Chains A and B, each alone.
Chain A
Amino acid sequence: MPVAVFSQRKARVVAWLDERLALDRIREFLAHKTVPVHSGTIWYYFGGITLFLFGIQVATGILLLLYYRPTATEAYESVQFIVTRVEFGWLIRSLHSWSANLMILTAFVHMFSVAFLRGWRRPREVTWLSGIVLLGLTLAFGFSGYLLPWNTTAYFATKVGTDLAGSIPLIGPPLARFLRGGDDVTGGTLTRFFGFHVAVLPAVTTAVLAVHLALVQRFGISSPPWLKTSEGKVPQMRFVPNFLLRELMAWYAALAALGVLAALFPWPLGEKADPFAPAPAGIRPEWYFLAPFYTLKLLPSHVAFLEGEQAGLIGFGLLGLWWAALPFWGVRPDGRERTRLVTGTGVLLLAWLSSFTLLGYLK
């Protein structure tokens, strides 16, 4: 077929698709989408990396579903079957566990970078809030998925976690029953957590993620306010192809890190949960719950009229709310920023999280 005829046909197909899919609008939109270039540009990649790792979670999670069985008698054995008998089963499971952990890490990096670069300022308050909700959902994924192999550490982590939920004043007891599917952590809890992990949380997360991404599109990528004032317009790079290709490189780097971790340090399975065995020495939760865990360990059994963990929970709850409300107290009504308060809160929060995580790990 002569070249001219071919290109004519191609143009016709493109025009046909254009008319039906409004491709020109998308093309137009992408052509104008840009990303600010400055010394902090590197932080813009972390949201995308988190998204990428979420994609890995969905893919490997679907694969694991083909063999996993969510009952107390079969769960542990089915994961054992996956990692010992199924070809590359060890790799898929290890990827799922490692990617989960990396995803939580990159989500935190993304959150703190947005906080420090002031990406939450007007009109992006709702974007920030949706991100906070996504972080909560991610942690819920972590907590519910952790139980699924039904091993000793998971069993006790869930006992402690749900009991902690049960000590919230008023709504605690019914909440704990709801989470456990009864008064104790049993096979019923496992089945419930499985339902949360593979159906409820993915559905909700997809919806909130859609809102989050749509808002990011709607308002574009923010640049820190101090750049705007000192240098006039912040230089920009085009999203397609400049930023996108760089982001893809970041995804490759994340994939490489993930592959190395998953292959060289396969995620251990531990021992099958036994409700009639004592909690083993040295038990502790996953690293992302270590900071609050270690704080609770330090609290005395009673603080004023509350039990220690109740006081702790109320403290964490207030701290979480304060942080989530950052866009609403970070700026004075007249539009001037409360710079020291914002940076101070962020630094303190980061310092508490990292130092207590480390302490919880070492002790």
Chain B
Amino acid sequence: MPQVTRRSANWLLGGGVAGSLASFVYPVMRFLNPPATPEAPVNEVVVANAQQMLPNSGRVVKFGSKPVLLIRVGEAEWRAFGATCTHLNCTVQYRPESQQIWCACHNGFYDLNGRVVSGPPPRPLDEYAVRTRGQEIVIARKG
């Protein structure tokens, strides 16, 4: 009988200690996890004025909190892609010499449709819709 009592006392003690430890650890674990910061949904942004950009040039603009690469391909032809490289997250740039999109981090190249030409990126860039409103260039999420 005393054997059993001792053993169950140990279990009780052990369980109590484990339970209290868990009650310390759990809040800490939750605390470490950053809360999601809800973003105001952005659907359309006026990002540039047509006069600011020459044909065959590109620049990174803000789409909410995301960088988007806006390219003026020709006089009236515009394209926009998420500027975040699908490889490891660097910000890409337009290369007028080769008319390609380039990521400096690991030498990834995309064509003007956002498709990977060479280098490590595994997926094409996200495409955005571009509209012109007079001189204003407006980009919007696609689909």
Complex interface: chain B residues within 8 A of A302 (CB): 122
B83, B105, B121: the one contacting A301 at CB < 8 Å is B121
Complex interface: chain B residues within 8 A of A283 (CB): 90, 104-105
CB contacts under 8 Å to A, within B28-80, are 32-34, 36-37, 60-62, 65, 67, 69
**Does B125 make an interface contact (CB < 8 A)?**
no
**Does A56 make an interface contact (CB < 8 A)?**
no
What is the CA–CA distance of A162 and B90 in the complex, to the nearest angstrom?
11
> What's the least CB distance linking A87 to chain B, in Å?
37
What is the CA–CA distance of A224 and B33 in the complex, to the nearest angstrom?
48
Residue pair A159, B34 in contact (C-beta under 8 Å)? no
Most chain A beta carbons < 10 A, residue from B34, B36, B116? B34
Residue pair A297, B106 in contact (C-beta under 8 Å)? yes
> What's the least CB distance linking A164 to chain B, in Å?
6
> What's the least CB distance linking A332 to chain B, in Å?
41
Closest residue on chain B to residue A164 by CB atoms: B88
Residue pair B88, A276 in contact (C-beta under 8 Å)? no
**Does B89 make an interface contact (CB < 8 A)?**
yes
Most chain A beta carbons < 10 A, residue from B33, B106, B119? B106
CB contacts under 8 Å to B, within A195-238, are none
**Does A280 make an interface contact (CB < 8 A)?**
yes
Closest residue on chain B to residue A162 by CB atoms: B89
**Does B103 make an interface contact (CB < 8 A)?**
yes
What is the CA–CA distance of A255 and B87 in the complex, to the nearest angstrom?
41
**Does B10 make an interface contact (CB < 8 A)?**
no
**Does B8 make an interface contact (CB < 8 A)?**
no
**Does B107 make an interface contact (CB < 8 A)?**
yes
Known A276-B60, A276-B62, A297-B120; contact A178-B32, beta-carbon cutoff 8 A: yes
Closest residue on chain A to residue B69 by CB atoms: A278
Complex interface: chain A residues within 8 A of B67 (CB): 275-276
Binary contact track A249-283/B, C-beta < 8 Å → 1, others 0: 00000000000000000000000000111111111
Known A278-B60, A301-B116, A301-B122; contact A156-B33, beta-carbon cutoff 8 A: no
CB contacts under 8 Å to B, within A270-318, are 275-283, 296-297, 299-302, 307-309
Residue pair B34, A188 in contact (C-beta under 8 Å)? yes
B-side interface mostly: loop
**Does A163 make an interface contact (CB < 8 A)?**
yes
B32, B36, B65, B120: the one contacting A296 at CB < 8 Å is B120
**Does A177 make an interface contact (CB < 8 A)?**
yes
B32, B37, B90, B92: the one contacting A160 at CB < 8 Å is B90
Residue pair A278, B88 in contact (C-beta under 8 Å)? no
Residue pair A280, B104 in contact (C-beta under 8 Å)? yes
Known A177-B33, A276-B67, A279-B103; contact A160-B91, beta-carbon cutoff 8 A: no
Closest residue on chain A to residue B94 by CB atoms: A278
Complex interface: chain A residues within 8 A of B89 (CB): 159-160, 162-163
CB contacts under 8 Å to B, within A136-166, are 156, 159-160, 162-164
What is the CA–CA distance of A180 and B32 in the complex, to the nearest angstrom?
11
Most chain B beta carbons < 10 A, residue from A167, A276, A277? A276
Residue pair A279, B60 in contact (C-beta under 8 Å)? no
Binary contact track B93-130/A, C-beta < 8 Å → 1, others 0: 10000000001111100000000100111100000000
Residue pair A282, B33 in contact (C-beta under 8 Å)? no
Residue pair B104, A309 in contact (C-beta under 8 Å)? no
Residue pair A279, B105 in contact (C-beta under 8 Å)? yes
Complex interface: chain B residues within 8 A of A299 (CB): 120
Complex interface: chain B residues within 8 A of A177 (CB): 33-34
Residue pair A278, B92 in contact (C-beta under 8 Å)? yes
**Does A182 make an interface contact (CB < 8 A)?**
yes
B33, B60, B88, B103: the one contacting A277 at CB < 8 Å is B60
Complex interface: chain B residues within 8 A of A301 (CB): 87, 116, 119-122
Complex interface: chain A residues within 8 A of B104 (CB): 278-283
Q: List 6 A-B contacts (CB under 8 A).
A: A177-B34, A178-B32, A178-B34, A278-B83, A283-B105, A297-B120
| Closest 9 A/B residue pairs (Cβ) | A278-B93, A163-B89, A279-B90, A279-B104, A163-B88, A160-B88, A159-B89, A301-B122, A181-B34
Interface residues of A (CB under 8 A from B): 156, 159-160, 162-164, 167, 174, 177-178, 180-184, 188, 275-283, 296-297, 299-302, 307-309
